[in-house]
Amino acid sequence: MNDVIGVAWFRDELTYREAVEIFTDPENMPATFEKWKTLVGRQCELIKSGGNIAIRADIDPETFTAWCNAHGFKADAWGRTAFANHVALEYQKTGKGTIIE
């Protein structure tokens, strides 16, 4: 069976900038949305080339912060990873989610 891997995803430049502002580790993020798109594009290609499924874990600053607070995470790399893993597990359970093509 293919693995389902959640990828922290930002729908547009505004969402990216707003999210970076609430992250406790903004220095760990690419400086621009365009650089993030390039990086995540490479990450998704690696996931798919291994026969796995990349699933979007859409990060909206408000709902991501609430999710982190409810699950005991900070809005940082660990929180983003935990959220992406949560989305991947939900996809495996329900089949609902957005696959990155």
Q: Residue 90 has what pLDDT?
A: 96
Nearest to 79 by CA among 97, 67, 95: 67
Q: Can you tell me the distance from the alpha carbon of 92 to that of 100, in angstroms, rounded to the nearest whole number?
A: 15
Q: How confident is the model at residue 63 (pLDDT cuts 50, 70, 90)?
A: very high
- Evaluate if residue 81 carries a pLDDT over 60: yes
Taken as a whole, the chain contains a residue count of 101
Q: How confident is the model at residue 101 (pLDDT cuts 50, 70, 90)?
A: confident
Total number of domains constituting the chain: 1
Q: Residue 100 has what pLDDT?
A: 93
Domain span including residue 55: 4-94
Q: Is the dihedral of CA 74, 40, 11, 96 positive or negative?
A: negative
- Report if residue 100 sits inside a domain: no
In sequence order, the 6+-apart residues with CB closer than 8 A to the CB of 55 are: 4, 5, 6, 7, 87, 88, 91, 97, 98, 99, 100
pLDDT digits (tens, 9 = 90+) for 8-42: 999 999 999 999 999 999 999 999 999 999 999 99
- Report if residue 101 sits inside a domain: no
